[in-house]
Copies of this chain bind each other. A is one copy, B any other.
């Protein structure tokens, strides 16, 4: 346990808490007060820490994501879809027909095939409604600039997904989705600040 603490950089109390909460699988008992942990435990601890600390997820969301990744009842593709669904932006109201139409047009322009009940199209439509309410609808050009960059990144990401192990593949996608998002948001905020500074001094 103390070695696990050193290797993961997390306090023993935190590791015990994750064990109690079922986020970290128990080690193999070697004595009454000792257990054997392996590289899988270290990796899981790093993942939990990254999801809470960097991606900003609450523990219940971390649990939901880990369950979706490790549920053996689901196919490789279903697990990815479920991981995506768990990550959906939460909205309490439904989107307008106009916003849904804009999203459908975007999907059509890009030639995307999506799961019929996927959450992201509705989340996008709802966000477009909120911007329209405030007089700030983004143009189709902005949506396309972004969609094009997202496609390029997705090609690189999806190309690297390991074929063999379903849980490993699902974890790969979850990490790529959740942990690359803070990277992308930070870069965008830096680009906005730099552009504002350059053009407005």
* A164-201 with Cβ < 8 A to chain B: 172-173, 175-177, 179-201
Name the B residues within 8 Å of A182 (CB-CB).
Answer: 89, 123-124, 127
Interface-lining segment among A17-25, A27-35, A65-73, A142-150: A142-150
Indicate whether A62 reaches chain B with its CB closer than 8 angstroms.
no
Per-position contact with B for A146-164: 1 when CB-CB < 8 Å, else 0?
A: 1111111111111101000
Decide if A53 is an interface residue (CB 8 Å cutoff): yes
The yes or no answer to A114 lying at the interface (CB within 8 A) is yes
A113-B198, A161-B200, A176-B136 given as contacts; is B189 within 8 A of A87 (CB)? yes
Note all chain B residues with C-beta closer than 8 A to A110.
191, 194
What is the distance, in angstroms, from A132's C-beta to the closest C-beta of chain B?
10
Main secondary structure of the interface of A (DSSP, over half): helix
What residues of chain B lie closer than 8 Å to A183, measured between beta carbons? 124, 127-128, 131, 138, 143, 146
In the complex, are the beta carbons of A152 and B145 less than 8 A apart? Answer: yes
Does chain B have a CB within 8 A of A16?
no
Size class of the A contact interface (CB-based, 8 Å)? 35 or more
A156 to B, closest residue via Cβ: B142
Question: What residue in chain B is nearest A148 (Cβ atoms)?
Answer: B149
Interface string of A101-145 (1 = CB under 8 A from B): 000001100101111001011011011101101101011011101
Give residues in A with beta carbon < 8 Å to B.
Answer: 43, 46-47, 49-50, 53-54, 56, 76-77, 80-81, 84, 87, 89-93, 106-107, 110, 112-115, 118, 120-121, 123-124, 126-128, 130-131, 133-134, 136, 138-139, 141-143, 145-159, 161, 172-173, 175-177, 179-201
Interchain residue pairs with CB less than 8 A apart (25): A50-B134, A56-B90, A76-B200, A84-B189, A84-B193, A107-B194, A112-B191, A114-B194, A114-B197, A115-B197, A124-B182, A127-B179, A131-B180, A134-B175, A136-B172, A138-B183, A141-B156, A145-B153, A146-B153, A150-B188, A150-B192, A151-B191, A151-B194, A158-B200, A184-B188
